[in-house]
Amino acid sequence: MVRAPKGTPAWTIEELLAQRAQWIYHHQNKVLDRCRRVAEARSTFPLSLPLLGVEYPVVYAHGPGGVREGIVYLPPCRTAPDVAKALEQLYRAQAKEYLPGRTLRLAEKYQLYPTRIQINGARGRWGSCSGKNSLNFSWRLMLADVSAVDYVICHELAHIKHHNHSQSFWQLVGEMRPDYQASQNHLKELEQSLFYQSWCSEPLNSKG
């Protein structure tokens, strides 16, 4: 649709459109590009998934789900809630397999021992430490890379010594993970990308 003052001769409009055609074409392409990117990211059925910083191709098939030989197997899904459920099961299983063992290893290394390690579905935080030094990690942490996962684990272990975010706390975190700011940035980017996933539509934040 073209808006023009009443009485504008048609040839003026056509000439103007011809002049602007290239700009309009360019602009349309830019908008289409952006729509395509958002649609791809929001796709109900992801074609690949990140796990500990590695992107795995996804195959939807009958049979046992899980990760085998570099491929993520998901059950056949029909709707977005089906996908969300299958992904939560997949990441929860992976989190239970990986996070407690990794946490105990780092606990040994830094001599900071949690009383309990649990996996939860927290959206608001990647990990937390209770007053009784029980650690909780969100299964969503499995979407991050290994270095960022180690940072979150060390962050929570550091809370065993300092139950606050004081200068001494950050000093300890810095001794454990000298590059922790890069991990914080990675987690922030991950939060933003998760915002566009239909199966994980609520953003996380790196608190805790």
Kindly list the residues in this chain that would bind Zn ion in the complex (CB under 5 A). 208
Please identify the residue of the shown chain whose CB is closest to the bound Zn ion.
Answer: 208
In angstroms, give the least distance from the CB of 123 to Zn ion: 17
In angstroms, give the least distance from the CB of 165 to Zn ion: 6
Compare residues 74 and 190 and give the one whose CB is closer to Zn ion. Answer: 190
Compare residues 98 and 126 and give the one whose CB is closer to Zn ion. Answer: 126
Nearest by Cα to 138 from 191, 59, 198, 75: 191
Compare residues 128 and 197 and give the one whose CB is closer to Zn ion. Answer: 128
* Rounded CA separation 152/154 (Å): 5
In angstroms, give the least distance from the CB of 92 to Zn ion: 23
HSE at residue 195, side-chain half, CA atoms within 13 A, is 11
The answer to whether the beta carbons of residues 157 and 172 sit under 8 Å apart is no
In angstroms, give the least distance from the CB of 168 to Zn ion: 13
In angstroms, give the least distance from the CB of 208 to Zn ion: 5
In angstroms, give the least distance from the CB of 183 to Zn ion: 13
Compare residues 46 and 208 and give the one whose CB is closer to Zn ion. Answer: 208
The answer to whether the beta carbons of residues 165 and 10 sit under 8 Å apart is no
Compare residues 114 and 208 and give the one whose CB is closer to Zn ion. Answer: 208
Nearest by Cα to 205 from 192, 197, 196, 94: 192
Compare residues 5 and 178 and give the one whose CB is closer to Zn ion. Answer: 178
